[in-house]
């Protein structure tokens, strides 16, 4: 911990620095690889939408001895078409999700599960969601996402500057796209809890980005007057000053989310938590990355195109070059001797004439 605090102090004072802005193309390349992988996952597998979005039926059986294999055997025996999603919830529940069913098919599934696990039909928790309801939920989720982005962009444009808003929104879209790609790759269902997780990670990503941008604004408030650093150098110093804070905040946030994901959903079998926890875990990690490696370098690229920042870069470059007059060893002696000769000739003329001595 002391080494970390010592490193943070040196980074803050500028005694040591990591070149985040100068190596922006490397970070862009890494992000491009993740984006391409997300596109491939979405194209090949697509998103597994939950019944809340596509419609369908859900049957939850409360039986300690129930297993996924038993539920699958019972439902398939009814001849229900379509894909089945069967999950173990906790230690005493099994949930079966099917596509849209009519009344006869719905009753057949309930009877099969009741007979298989020895429970009454009334004890089975049944939820039926129509396709129209799923479309309405999808539309509201998209409205919420786009409304969030618009409000955040307006706030950042007023609180900071428009180019900071553009860079922050680009980082947010980057985070959502990669998170969605990983969701498609893993194959988890997209549920309303997933949408809540997406909105949460958007807020966290923007929080981390705003912290960095606030330091950037502080470091660049009078940058054109001082002319000691270029805009990119000042931005890079701001990132180094907030690096340890961002790392500590992200680590503290990832620990409880990781516990929910790996302990709650993995070991304890709380399947309802994995949709939310996976979105949070991926989003927190990617959001921290994007605020440092995507948003801030993109802001520097946008501002460096301005004429004022280009003129500043020229002034800093001019001040950084020390002009030295080369000395030629062959001519040095000549110049010195010439100077000595002139001094010798000039010396007698300046001295008063001596009177001749009388003998």
Q: What is the pLDDT of residues 162-191, one digit of tens each?
A: 899 899 889 988 988 888 888 888 877 787
Average the pLDDT over 23-28 and give the result.
Answer: 92
What is the token pair recorded at 162?
A: 């428009």
For the cut 50, the answer to whether the pLDDT of residue 322 exceeds it is: no
Name the maximum alpha-carbon separation found in the chain: 151
Handedness of CA 207, 209, 212, 214 (dihedral sign): negative
Q: What is the CATH number of the domain that holds 103?
A: 3.30.460.30
| pLDDT of 355 | 52
- If asked whether residues 121 and 153 sit together in one domain, one would say no
Residue the block writes with tokens 């500028």: 14
pTM of the model: 0.70
Residue 252 lies in a domain: yes
92 shares a domain with 42: no
Query: Do the domain assignments include residue 85?
Result: yes
Q: Which of 5-14, 218-227, 232-241 has the lowest mean pLDDT?
A: 5-14
Whether 182 and 252 share a structural domain: yes
Q: Kindly tell me the number of DSSP H helices and DSSP E strands found in the chain.
A: 14, 6
Asked whether 287 and 204 are in contact (CB, 8 A), the reply is yes
Q: Are 216 and 141 within one domain?
A: yes
pLDDT for the residue 323: 37
Residue 18 sits at the vertex; the CA angle it makes with 16 and 23, to the nearest 5 degrees, is 150
Q: Is residue 250 part of a domain?
A: yes
Name the average pLDDT for the chain.
79
Helices 296-304 and 307-320, interaxial angle, to 10°?
Answer: 90
Q: How many domains does the chain have?
A: 2
Residue-wise pLDDT tens digits, 264-302: 655 655 555 677 777 788 888 888 899 999 999 999 999
Residues 279, 183: Cα–Cα separation, whole Å: 8
Mean local confidence (pLDDT), 336-358: 46
Both 42 and 144 in a single domain?
yes
Residue 340 lies in a domain: no
pLDDT of residue 297: 93
Q: Which of 19, 4, 20 is nearest to 289 (CA)?
A: 20
Mean pLDDT of all residues in 345-359: 48
Residue 8 placed within a domain: no
Q: Residue 251: count other Cβ atoms within 10 Å of its Cβ.
A: 11
Instruction: Read off the pLDDT of each residue in 242-265 and give the average, rounded to a whole number.
Output: 82
| 159, 293: one domain | yes
Residues 1-23: what's their mean pLDDT? Answer: 75
pLDDT for 340 equals 41
Q: What pLDDT digit, counting tens, does each position of 50-74 carry?
A: 777 777 888 889 888 888 888 888 8
For the residues 35-49, what does the mean pLDDT come to? 86
Q: What is the pLDDT of residue 359?
A: 43
Residue of 357 and 339 predicted with greater confidence: 357
pLDDT at 324 over 70: no
233 and 288 together in one domain: yes
- The answer on 171 and 41 residing in a single domain is yes
Q: Which domain holds residue 233?
A: 14-48+133-315
Residue with tokens 């007059």: 325
How far is it, in rounded angstroms, from Cα 59 to Cα 71?
10
Any idea what the CATH number is for the domain that residue 237 is in?
1.20.1640.10
Where does residue 76 rank: exposed (0-12), middle (13-18), buried (19+ CB within 10 A)?
Answer: exposed
Tell me, yes or no, whether 194 and 116 share the same domain. Answer: no
Q: Which helix (H) or strand (E) holds 145?
A: helix 131-159
In a domain, 239, yes or no: yes
The predicted-structure confidence for 84-136, as pLDDT tens digits, reads as follows 888 777 678 888 888 878 888 888 899 999 888 888 888 888 888 776 776 77
Mean pLDDT within 139-159:
82
Rounded distance between C-alpha atoms, residue 275 and residue 270, angstroms: 10
For the beta carbon of residue 159, count every other beta carbon within 10 angstroms. 13
Do 177 and 195 belong to one domain? yes
Residues 33 and 95 in one domain: no
311 occurs within a structural domain: yes
| Residue that wins the pLDDT comparison between 217 and 274 | 217
- Report, in this order, helix, strand and coil percent for the chain, each rounded to 5: 70, 10, 20
What are residue 97's DSSP bridge partners?
58, 85
Which comes out higher in pLDDT, residue 162 or 202?
Answer: 162
Asked if residue 352 is part of any domain, the answer here is no
What per-residue confidence (pLDDT) applies to 25?
A: 92
Read off the tokens for 319. 């001040």
Q: For residues 298 and 217, state if they share a domain.
A: yes
């Amino acid at each position: 911990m002391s080494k970390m605090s010592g490193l943070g102090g040196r980074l803050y004072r500028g005694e040591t620095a990591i070149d985040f802005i100068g190596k922006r193309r490397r970070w862009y390349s890494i992000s491009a690889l993740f984006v391409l992988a997300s596109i491939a996952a979405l194209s090949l597998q697509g998103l597994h939408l939950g019944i809340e979005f596509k419609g369908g039926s859900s049957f939850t059986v409360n039986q300690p001895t129930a297993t996924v294999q038993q539920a699958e055997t019972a439902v398939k025996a009814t001849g229900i078409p379509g894909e089945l999603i069967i999950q173990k919830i906790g230690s005493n529940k099994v949930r079966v999700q099917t596509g849209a069913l009519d009344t006869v098919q719905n009753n057949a599934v309930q009877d099969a599960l009741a007979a298989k696990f020895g429970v009454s039909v009334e004890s089975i928790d049944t939820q039926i969601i129509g396709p129209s309801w799923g479309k309405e939920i999808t539309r509201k989720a998209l409205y919420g996402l786009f409304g969030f982005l618009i409000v955040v962009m307006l706030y950042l444009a007023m609180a900071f500057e428009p180019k900071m808003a553009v860079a922050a929104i680009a980082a947010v879209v980057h985070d959502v796209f990669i998170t969605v790609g990983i969701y498609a790759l893993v194959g988890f269902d997209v549920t309303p809890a997933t949408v809540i997780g997406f909105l949460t990670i958007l807020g966290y990503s923007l929080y981390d980005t705003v912290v960095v941008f606030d330091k950037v604004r502080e470091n660049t408030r009078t940058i054109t007057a001082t002319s000691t650093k270029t805009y990119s150098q000042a931005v890079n110093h701001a990132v180094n000053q907030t690096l340890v804070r961002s790392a500590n905040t992200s680590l503290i946030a990832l620990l409880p989310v990781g516990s929910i994901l790996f302990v709650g959903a993995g070991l304890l079998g709380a399947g309802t938590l994995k949709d939310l926890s996976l979105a949070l875990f991926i989003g927190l990690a990617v959001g921290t990355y994007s605020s440092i490696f995507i948003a801030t370098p993109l802001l520097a690229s946008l501002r460096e195109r301005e004429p004022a920042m280009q003129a500043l870069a020229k002034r800093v470059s001019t001040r950084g070059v020390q002009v030295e007059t080369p000395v030629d060893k062959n001519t040095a002696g000549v110049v010195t001797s010439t100077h000595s000769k002139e001094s010798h000739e000039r010396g007698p003329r300046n001295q008063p004439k001596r009177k001749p001595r009388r003998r």
